[in-house]
Copies of this chain bind each other. A is one copy, B any other.
Amino acid sequence: MPQQLRSIERVERILDAAGALVHSAGIDAVTTRAVAEGAGVPVASLYQYFADRDEILLALVERDVGEMDSQVAADLAGLPVLSIATVVEATMRAFVKVYHRRQAFVVLWLRGRTNTAIQDFCRAHNKRIAADLFTFARETGLLDDEATVLNAELAVEVGDRVFQLAFERDLHGDEAILVEGVHLVRGYLERHASAAGLEGVPA
């Protein structure tokens, strides 16, 4: 097995260990010692792959966030009809799918606020998602002329808070809150929708 591969494996093991700790005991439990022990590597070796502790947490989030993006892209691509309603529903449900798969991410991001690095990364990611969705909706003609990217950002952030609320006590998400949250976001964006955005167009 090539050297390179072994490294990648180890990084994965480290991230898995960190994720398990976050999931089971919260972010403060993610000490270098605990991660190293969980991953079966010496503490000092963490520093071969990560500059410091924060970078581990960041990498953990990045990994999950990448999955998020893929899931959203895939689910949007599969929509037969495009409208504000279907896009919002598909996007938010895509998030939920990943939250289900990546419970450490739920703890790290939706629950206990995290360190600045993660905070910044996730906020930036929300912004990028908002921008992407805005472009997508604009190009598909779902929005009216006065809609701006700010509307998209607000929608994403507010959706994020819906998730926070829904996952607060239930690691699988409170379905009633999720349903109502989807309505909320959809209702908000439909006030900025074009006729097509309201009625839907074939993809």
20 more CB-based (< 8 A) A-B contacts, given A151-B180, A158-B184: A26-B116, A112-B113, A113-B115, A113-B119, A150-B180, A153-B165, A154-B162, A154-B165, A154-B181, A157-B162, A157-B164, A157-B165, A158-B158, A158-B161, A160-B161, A161-B161, A161-B164, A187-B187, A187-B188, A188-B188
Partner of A113 from B27, B157, B187 at Cβ < 8 Å: B27
Name the distance in Å between A197's Cβ and chain B's nearest Cβ.
16
Does the CB pair A123–B187 fall under 8 Å? no
A157 to B166, CA, bound (A): 11
With the chains together, A157 CA to B153 CA distance in Å? 17
Report yes or no: B116 in contact with A112, Cβ–Cβ below 8 A. yes
- The residue of chain B having its C-beta at the shortest distance from the C-beta of A110 within the complex is B113
Asked if A176 is an interface residue, CB under 8 A from chain B, the answer is yes
Complex CA gap A14/B88 in Å reads 47
The docked-state distance in angstroms from the alpha carbon of A187 to that of B191 is 9
Q: Any chain B CB within 8 A of the CB of A144?
A: no
CB proximity of A86 to chain B, nearest CB, Å: 19
Most central of A114, A162, A188 by chain B CB within 10 Å: A188
Q: Which 3 A-B residue pairs are closest in the complex by CB-CB distance?
A: A113-B113, A161-B161, A157-B165
A177 at the interface (CB under 8 A from B): yes
Tell me, yes or no, whether A69 is within 8 Å of chain B by CB. no
**Residues of chain B with a CB closer than 8 A to A162's CB:** 154, 157-158
A184 & B176 in contact (Cβ 8 Å cutoff): no
* Cross-chain contact of A114 among B113, B158, B191 (Cβ < 8 A): B113
Looking at A26, A154, A176, the one whose CB has the most chain B CB atoms below 10 A away is A154
